[in-house]
Chain A
């Protein structure tokens, strides 16, 4: 498989008369200054950010911890986080303030990643109206790494019919070419490897040629634009931003670390069963490696989409998780599916905890991971009590050990739960770790100007 993927470069070598460049890349230490407290160029040590998403909600009283504040204990559905509990804060009882006339089911919950209300596009189709927090943070880091951000998804299953629009196709949205563009994730770990590391495999240097082709692409794109309307012009401009980023990557200095092996996992079904755990692990390892190598500092990670036909076969769910959610909070299959997704999150956090970062910290210490779902109670699609987890140390930015911040106790009504305060306050707290001058996140009723400081150190 690896040979196949690399055939282009192997062939190029042949063509260039065997002039291959077999340079071993320097080790990680080369990235640090001599004191080990900053990058070699004098910049501060990197802080990373990732959004993580699980689908179809929670059972409120089995997910939210009973105790509030510092002395909280893991709830039934958060039990998988036992090994990393000190690195996690739970935020419960917050309201997703999407206006009632925009509630479509599931789609509105994606605002938990952006603080922007959705735009309806007919039926079960909605589009995002603003960038997600990962992209806002990537904007603050523009130009610091060869790659802006990585976007991955584990389950390949789709909504069986009906759901569409950008909120359905991606969890990450970016202002690109003047519009809001869904950053469709990759589902094959080998593809993720290619996008993160493939460019840095030593090969004959044809970067000038490739860049000259991109110049030609630009000219062609600009000529195309002259006949188009506003929407399509934005699409061409979005294309051109992608061209610019590819060019930056081609011209980037290779990272100062050895490249990881190409993963063997390809996220291929066997007998109709998706390899969820091994794909989750492979994706987590690739992102962890790219973070430590400082190839990128931002990622989004979607375990599965809302309403997807995903079956958690590894726990013998035997039923589509979304269908199980509609059997109500009492469904044992639904309950087990939530705990299972929390286990996948825990697996990822443990990989970050095992990964040593540049100065001896763990990658979990030096990252912020914001996790949420698309609703609280799946059966009623309520967006009151949006479930939120904030994990990692943020290089000392986040409170450690983590707390359980709760706005108001659960009223006991699963289908119509109570929520208070603005969930976007958590997003603003995350953004200020990267841009202390940031004053707001989101827009409309969901906009926040008051960061949730309780989770900050």
Chain B
């Protein structure tokens, strides 16, 4: 019988193993896809950015291919179980009594009447659970429920477990709370002052008697150059707070199992911190708790704190001995918040006569709401994350995060970087207008090169900023549009820079735990089980980890299963925040897979009697590179490797290399790699109404290497959607008495499909030397540039610079009216349309761009490159840190006395002495 042979054959003379799972759709292994194998490994994929340390591991299996999320079939069939979908027999319904007051002392709580209702099984208040918790170990300031004071409307007062929801709600109504109302603070400026009753008694140290939670002062660089700038842009910004707006409200199920252990089912981004907090609050060891991460219906940072309601569920379940499920209404989500901080930012950008950015001065006052949350980090990020990708002569930052009686702000996509990035990019645009140069040319001539150091000492490895800008400029037809479109129609550019994984884990440990650990297990069936604690919140982390293992072992992704839900079975992972998962978890997965790969190669070498180094891995087959007929199937190699020991297991871990400076706060913003992005947005603004409509966005993002281009594009487009919300419509509105006016999705305006413009995602691959297969983050960075791109486009359309977000029609029209008055114009249609005639400086910029492009290309490919420190553009020797060669080069993290005589807004937080806070009547 004639037979067609489609792929590789078994090596003659070798007996095939029995075939578990035979009868598959694809009986033959595919040929190695040479298009996916880099040139340096004998394939056909070009490597214009040089080689990567993982190149030799590529098998062409799945990295770089558009891969549907591995769990997507659960989602599309409705089988995915989110928080509220966990239904355990015999469950009770938990509900939470929340404070109706902004700020009040709890005199007493009377639960007797509520407890008497039939069907009410437990009522708990804060008195019995006084242990503090919080996401950062240094700022634990939350309780399961209010102990003495409620600090914002919606703060937790008591919780109830009952047979059904109606009974639980009835019980809440019958709980009598006697409040002594205190004077609330809603205005963040007032929180800078000393008050009689600070919102938190922070124990040992206090910044005066004020509500300043964290203050930062940083000065880097030579401030001489800044004193007489050629051009300056000064702006005072107001940013409204925004909420994540994930579609799944928080929900949690707690169940104390017969073994006496607690399993907490929760849609969490960071299960490990919940794990720690539960142990603190419940006073049981961590090993007695299993945190089960359910499917997460969107996180964006809003599900990354350990939450009081999670503690409540565990407390209620412990008391009743039955499972307890708590699900939020949408308004409770808004009162829990942790969204982006409302902030007031003063941004001054200075440029010298050579069109170099000789100074950035930023002062950011951010409104933290009632709790610290990630506040320490946010306060730093508002400053340090806009010191790149440009080379800067000097940087001055004062930041303060204050407590107010509002729902707490926290981490949200683009954590801390978004608002100040918007401000600095508008400053640059403004300066370019003053200098009469093209803003893209300006940026291209002021970029840091690859493998350099920023002004604050961050280590830049790969940087694709130049390519992002150039590709966006080409794609959007910039030359034909910028400053050339008619009135009411404009285009603008904005850039972004974001960390790819935080260099210091939050729970820093002297034992030097790794950031991420991944375990692999392969048994006789050949399928690979990955155990990882990385929390898939919809971004596709399970998929990326599966792809990495699939790539190294040469098995199709269908043969990989990811077990990432239970803390019992997954190695500790720090969770999905700071855009760390792809970088750190995929790196850990690769190192785990390398161990298995070695075993397989060793077994193959033994079977075929060839040297291990001559082997390569293809689709489910391991063979000699020069003679593909010699080799064995994956399963045969596996079974050989399993002889006498059974299932293969391995463990891989990732830790960031040592890096960064030594000054206080040097670790904030440190990352093993950074992502870069440049967006152009085209908008139409109706001058007669102030309505802004974004019509198209060109979005270039440097993600190092797109492991899964489908997901990267999804993240880019999704980021645009979220950023557009913040820039145009979304706002947490607080009324005059400080009440939240729009805690629902009707009044909180998330863009619908009609508001969403077409987005052209442009993936730029800079091939990071340390990233997994060259990859960096793509989850948060893509949000940053959309805000300034839209704002700058609005200026291009009608010549008005906004300094307040969101740009709602009423605000914009007020500015239009004001401008009409100043210019004495009758109709908004007569507003002057911005134009551009290039000045002499444009030539300087273009020349410098060409020089720098060559410099960058050389640094990319030359592996023996010299160091490059920020400051070189200003005449310093590139290989020596500027502070070592210039005595005027400041590096300071405390304000001088001279500064304190005239501090700026957030800077005035430094007027307070750090003191031991004394309680009233405490003489000690």
Q: A and B: partners? A: no
